[in-house]
Structure 1
Amino acid sequence: MKLYDLTHRLNNESPVYPGISSPQFTATATIEKNGYRETHFRFHSHLGTHIDAPAHMLKDGLFLNEMNIDSFLGQALIISVSSDVQIIGKDILVNYKESISKTDFVLFKTGWSRYWGEEEYFGRFPVLNSEATEYLLSFKLKGIGFDVISVDPMESNDYKNHYSIFEKGLIIIENLVFPESLKEATGEFSCFPLKYEKADGSPVRAIFRVD
């Protein structure tokens, strides 16, 4: 069995969506002063590698804490797409039709995470067009994930992909990172959120397991 961590490390320099306040990780106790360590967290619910709940944008959408626990665990298919491809179209996805039909999560590996912490991370990263999104939603999935900051382009004002996915009751996983050592395309994926009340989103420890 192999376990791969698909999660970005969190700290005070973790990039956030433009307009969102930066995270704060503050040591409130130290071994030298208190005999133990403790850290105070202050951050947005969509920090780092995280999942979006339908309630993130839908008035009557489910919060993460209302969803069944198995919503965050299942078989996953990793689809590799070049970061030079700005639009992920249906023509790319139809080649994976049989594999998508057997999986719970589709995760897109574009390599864009190499820009994590840089201005370019908020540039023209690969995104699904509406036709590709609708094609994915024709399958029985639990969630769709990306190694970019958003499922919609930065310039989007209508967030069509977000709404389409949420209206089907799926979660969105953003800011994944795929280790270079990960060569397998199928395995078990987990992304369990913090269980807080009215959870519209949550940082997660995203793990990919290959037997």
Structure 2
Amino acid sequence: MAELIDLTHLFDDDIPVYPGDPCAKLYETASIAKDGYTDHKIETGMHVGTHMDGPLHFIEGGMFLSEVPLNSFTGIGNLVDARGKSCVTGDFLEMHDISRGDIVLVMTGFSKKFKDPDYYETYPELSEDFANRLVDLGVSAVAMDTPSPDRDPFPIHRILMSSNVLIIENADNLEALTGKGRFRVHAYPMKLRTEAAPVRVIAEIL
């Protein structure tokens, strides 16, 4: 049986949200003791926890996530170790043999601050050179253990999404891939007619 590694944050009732976004709510609406069954309700925006941004997020006329081809949600993974860096530049890609359709995972180590008050203030960013190289390489997606690849006015989002490169934000546990060798990433979002959606990200060790 293949080894699978979960790269997804747990969605619970105190999950942090991007500043200005409404708080997410997860609560029980029925219990076995009272109702004979358990049921839960969730109220959330699309950009909460580990989630995937599709082209429509920043590109007028871009695809809804529900329109993205399924093969864009899985690919050979490439782990970029950028721990301790405030900006991840294109030079980090030179040591990787990245092919069209691959998925790049940027490990900054920042996920350990996921519930810290400054998580959405002090995160590392991707450089425009890094983003442009991803586009040139033809990757299907890039994931990072930070809340965003950039800040307002969000140039990295626009570079990637204009070429239909998907963005996975708030990945977790990337350190577990260190030394594992080749792996495949599976990242299937909920099938919603939206610009983004929660996603369960799994690495399959090959």
Given the superposition, is the C-alpha separation of residues 182 and 92 from structure 1 closer, same or farther in structure 2, using an over 3 Å criterion? closer
One-letter identity of the residue aligned with 2:86? Q
Q: Which residue of 2 aligns with 1:90?
A: 90
Distance in 1 separating the partners of 2:24 and 2:54 = 20
Given the superposition, is the C-alpha separation of residues 76 and 181 from structure 1 closer, same or farther in structure 2, using an over 3 Å criterion? closer
**Aligned structure 1 segments of 4 or more residues deviating by more than 6 angstroms:** none
1:193 and 1:204 in contact (8 A); partners too: yes
1:103, distance to aligned residue in structure 2 (A): 5.5
Q: Does 1:166 align with 2:161?
A: yes
2:111 and 2:146 in contact (8 A); partners too: yes
Q: Structure 2 regions of 5+ residues with no counterpart?
A: none
Q: Does 1:202 align with 2:197?
A: yes
SS of 1:195's equivalent?
A: coil
SS of 1:44's equivalent?
A: coil
One-letter identity of the residue aligned with 2:111? S
SS of 1:144's equivalent?
A: strand
Q: 1:116 aligns with which of 98, 114, 118?
A: 114
1:77 and 1:185 in contact (8 A); partners too: no
Distance in 1 separating the partners of 2:100 and 2:57 = 27
Distance in 2 separating the partners of 1:192 and 1:16 = 21
Task: Give matches, 1:174-193, under 5 Å.
Answer: 174-178=169-173, 180-183=175-178, 184-193=180-189
Distance in 2 separating the partners of 1:116 and 1:56 = 23
One-letter identity of the residue aligned with 1:118? D
Distance in 2 separating the partners of 1:166 and 1:110 = 22
Distance in 2 separating the partners of 1:151 and 1:91 = 16
Residues matched between the structures, number: 204
TM-score by length of 2: 0.94
CA deviations over 1:36-58 (Å, ceiling 9, x no partner): 00001100111110000101111
Q: Percent identity?
A: 29
Distance in 1 separating the partners of 2:90 and 2:75 = 23
Q: Which residue of 2 aligns with 1:11?
A: 12
Q: Does 1:50 align with 2:54?
A: no
1:78 and 1:186 in contact (8 A); partners too: no
Q: Which residue of 2 aligns with 1:34?
A: 35
1:79 and 1:185 in contact (8 A); partners too: no
Distance in 1 separating the partners of 2:92 and 2:46 = 32
Q: Structure 1 regions of 5+ residues with no counterpart?
A: none
One-letter identity of the residue aligned with 1:86? S
Superposed CA RMSD in Å reads: 1.4
TM-score by length of 1: 0.92
One-letter identity of the residue aligned with 2:195? D
Distance in 2 separating the partners of 1:66 and 1:210 = 28
Distance in 2 separating the partners of 1:2 and 1:81 = 24
